[in-house]
């Protein structure tokens, strides 16, 4: 039997993962700009920590909207066109967030209306993130051969982390050697506008990739679907896959409850636990956390870059092992590592110990997440749902993820005011509960085709 066309599959995956890169870029760009946003938009209006947290997290409202819309758009217009729309939204948000005064306001003058406009552009970008976060792994899962699907979907998480690392470098480069006053007035604008470059590249490259064969089969275009499958898998294997797809697609679309409630609950809980363990607190507020440890502003951004490099390394560990060891073992090990990291940080916070030890446990925590829940949650969300309900079910799971993300990120400043140690211990408890959830409820999907998931889900 002819082996899959690895070069072609890799090329398609790389284009789709640019959606992941922009996901990471857009969500992490705020890490370098959030103190400047506070100085430029929050403090002059005499607003407090709630307004600051809500503004830093405003893109997440768009992520929830984009996540909810992703299933409708992906099913109606296709996976590729939905990703094109996301690219356009990323571009608009990048320019608008950097120049929120555009057309309507006096530049440099802070008003409530300007704050609303900034949040509006961040929400637009968030919708793009919500669409890409659901549809990029969906696209990859539907073009990937089953034996390497976990590795290829994990590449999307690598792209997310790489996007974050790139923007950490960009933010550091913009801020390096500049005064705080310049960064607070001008520098943060460059940070946001820099996203327009990868957004343009993503939109252009999407013009040259095909729609997924499973979407085409769902729309009744079996000839085109088979043609793409043959290019990926060879003629003999493509015919077998096409036969299996035909038995599991529904041209009219299946009800989201076609396979019962349990699989939807599992998808939602996967998403919620991925956020309730507190990872985005570490990502969004990283420079501020390092500054609280005594680092200067430039040094805190440099430490954030170091953390980003470690994240990349441990995401590669997940990519190399997910199709060998399976999804469940990696998730459980990662949960244990995150719990150790967060409980240790909580203890150090209660003891008022700040220094290199704290940094070590932050790295243990983030490394544990990046080798497990970071990529593998997206792998499971991309593959666990049967063909008939995949678009709708992924939309629900992704929307739940962004809702949980918004709750955790927006409440972090207020929680820290109440108890820093208690905040980190809460994330530690969530890490323990996530391990129990995986052990008890989540099926192993390693090596199974998307069509075989019908049987796995029916047996839950």
Task: Please report whether residue 240 resides in a domain.
Answer: no
Overall number of domains in the chain: 1
Domain CATH code at residue 59: 1.20.1250.20
Q: CA-CA distances (angstroms) from residue 358 to 194, 231, 320, 351, 415?
A: 32, 50, 29, 11, 19
Residues in the chain, total: 460
How confident is residue 282, by pLDDT bands cut at 50, 70 and 90? low
pLDDT at residue 306 greater than cutoff 80:
no
Task: Please report whether residue 242 resides in a domain.
Answer: no
Task: Please report whether residue 141 resides in a domain.
Answer: yes
pLDDT at residue 112 greater than cutoff 80:
yes
Task: Please report whether residue 244 resides in a domain.
Answer: no
Task: Please report whether residue 204 resides in a domain.
Answer: yes
**Which region holds residue 419: left if phi is over 0, alpha if psi is between -120 and 50, else beta?**
beta
* Rounded Cα–Cα distance for residues 36 and 143 (Å): 42
Q: What is the pLDDT of residue 3?
A: 66
Q: What is the pLDDT of residue 223?
A: 92
* Rounded Cα–Cα distance for residues 114 and 194 (Å): 21
* Rounded Cα–Cα distance for residues 290 and 12 (Å): 38
- At 183-220, the pLDDT tens digits run 888 899 999 999 999 999 999 999 999 999 989 988 88
Q: What is the pLDDT of residue 1?
A: 41
Task: Please report whether residue 222 resides in a domain.
Answer: no
- At 402-419, the pLDDT tens digits run 888 878 877 877 887 888
Task: Please report whether residue 241 resides in a domain.
Answer: no
303: helix, coil or strand? helix
At what angle are helices 222-233 and 6-37 packed, to 10 degrees?
100
Q: What is the pLDDT of residue 288?
A: 58
Question: How far does CA 51 lie from the centroid of its chain?
Answer: 24
Choose among 268, 312, 335, 337: nearest CA to 162: 312
Q: What is the pLDDT of residue 304?
A: 65
Q: What is the pLDDT of residue 454?
A: 78
Cα dihedral sign, 175-176-179-182: negative
Q: Phi/psi of residue 70, each to 5°?
A: -60, -40
- At 335-366, the pLDDT tens digits run 999 999 999 988 988 887 766 777 788 888 98
For residue 137, the enclosing domain spans 6-209+250-458
Q: Phi/psi of residue 120, each to 5°?
A: -60, -50
pLDDT at residue 400 greater than cutoff 80:
yes
Q: What is the mean pLDDT of the chain?
A: 86
Question: Is the Cβ–Cβ distance between 430 and 276 less than 8 Å?
Answer: yes
pLDDT at residue 280 greater than cutoff 90:
no
Task: Please report whether residue 230 resides in a domain.
Answer: no
């Amino acid at each position: 039997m002819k082996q899959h066309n690895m070069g072609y599959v890799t090329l398609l995956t790389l284009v789709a993962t640019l959606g992941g890169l922009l996901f990471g870029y857009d969500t992490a760009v705020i890490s370098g700009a959030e103190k400047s946003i506070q100085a430029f938009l929050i403090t002059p209006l005499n607003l407090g920590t709630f307004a600051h947290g809500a503004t830093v997290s405003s893109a997440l409202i768009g992520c929830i909207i984009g996540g909810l819309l992703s299933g409708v758009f992906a099913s109606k217009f296709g996976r590729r066109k939905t990703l094109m729309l996301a690219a356009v939204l990323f571009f608009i948000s990048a320019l608008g967030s950097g120049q929120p005064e555009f057309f309507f306001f006096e530049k440099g003058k802070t008003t409530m209306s300007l704050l609303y406009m900034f949040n509006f552009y961040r929400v637009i970008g968030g919708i793009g993130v919500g669409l890409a976060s659901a549809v990029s792994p969906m696209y990859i899962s539907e073009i990937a051969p089953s034996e390497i699907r976990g590795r290829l979907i994990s590449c999307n998480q690598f792209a997310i982390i790489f996007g974050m690392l790139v923007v950490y470098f960009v933010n550091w480069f913009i801020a390096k050697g500049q005064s705080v006053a310049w960064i607070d007035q001008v520098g943060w604008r460059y940070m946001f506008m820099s996203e327009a470059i990868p957004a343009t590249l993503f939109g252009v490259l999407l013009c040259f990739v095909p729609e997924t064969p499973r979407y085409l089969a769902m729309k009744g275009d079996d000839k085109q679907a088979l043609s793409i499958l043959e290019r990926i898998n060879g003629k003999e294997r493509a015919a077998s896959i096409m036969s299996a797809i035909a038995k599991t697609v529904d041209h009219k679309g299946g009800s989201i409850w076609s396979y019962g409630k349990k699989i939807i609950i599992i998808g939602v809980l996967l998403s919620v636990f991925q956020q309730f363990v507190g990872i985005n607190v570490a990502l969004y507020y990283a420079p501020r956390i390092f500054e609280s440890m005594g680092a200067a502003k430039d040094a805190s951004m440099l430490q954030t870059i170091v953390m980003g490099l470690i994240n990349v390394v441990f995401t590669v560990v997940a990519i190399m092992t997910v199709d060998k060891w399976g999804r469940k073992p990696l998730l459980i090990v990662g949960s244990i590592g995150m719990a150790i990291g967060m409980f240790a940080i909580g203890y150090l916070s209660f003891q008022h110990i700040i220094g290199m030890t704290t940094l070590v446990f932050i790295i243990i925590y983030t490394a544990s997440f990046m080798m497990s829940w970071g990529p593998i949650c997206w792998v499971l969300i991309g593959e666990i749902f049967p063909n008939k309900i995949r678009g709708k079910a992924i939309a629900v799971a992704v929307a739940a993820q962004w809702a949980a993300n918004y709750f955790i990120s927006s409440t972090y400043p207020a929680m820290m005011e109440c108890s820093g140690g208690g905040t980190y211990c809460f994330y530690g408890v969530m890490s323990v509960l996530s391990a129990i959830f995986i052990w008890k409820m989540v099926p192993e999907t390693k090596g199974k085709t998307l069509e075989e998931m019908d049987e796995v889900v029916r047996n839950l």
